[in-house]
Structure 1
Amino acid sequence: MKKIKGFGGRSYGPSKGEAKGIDLGSIQKVQEEMAKKLEQLEESFSQMEIVSTAGGGAIKVKATCDYRIASIEFDDDLLQDKEMLSDLIVAAVNEVLQEIKKRRDEEMLKLTQGAISL
Structure 2
Amino acid sequence: MFGDMMGMMNKLKEAQKKVEETKERLNTVLLDQSSNDNKLSVTITANRTIKSLRIDDELLEDKEMLEDYLILTLNKAIEKASKVNEAELAAVAKEGMPNIPGMDMFK
TM above 0.5: yes
Quick check: 1:24 aligned with 2:24? no
The structure 2 residue matched to 1:77, chosen from 52, 58, 78, is: 58
Quick check: 1:34 aligned with 2:15? yes
TM superposition shift of 1:29: 1.0
Once the two structures are aligned, what percentage of the paired residues are identical? 23
Unaligned runs of 5+ in 1: 1-19
CA–CA distance in 2 between the matches of 1:112 and 1:39? 10
TM superposition shift of 1:116: 4.9
CA–CA distance in 1 between the matches of 2:2 and 2:13? 20
CA–CA distance in 1 between the matches of 2:90 and 2:27? 18
Amino acid paired to 1:61: V
TM superposition shift of 1:34: 0.3
Count of residue correspondences: 99
Structure with higher RCO (Cα < 8 A, 6+ apart): 2
TM superposition shift of 1:55: 3.9
Runs of 4+ in structure 1 off by over 3 angstroms are none
CA contact 2:8–2:98 (8 Å) conserved in 1:
no
* Superposed CA offset, 1:9-52 (max 9, x none): xxxxxxxxxxx667111011101110110110111111011111
CA–CA distance in 2 between the matches of 1:23 and 1:110? 24
TM superposition shift of 1:56: 1.6
Aligned residue in 2 for 1:113:
94
Unaligned runs of 5+ in 2: 100-107
TM superposition shift of 1:67: 1.9
CA contact 1:51–1:96 (8 Å) conserved in 2:
yes
More helix by share: 2
Aligned residue in 2 for 1:86:
67
TM superposition shift of 1:65: 1.8
Give the root-mean-square deviation of aligned CA atoms.
1.9
TM-score by length of 1: 0.75
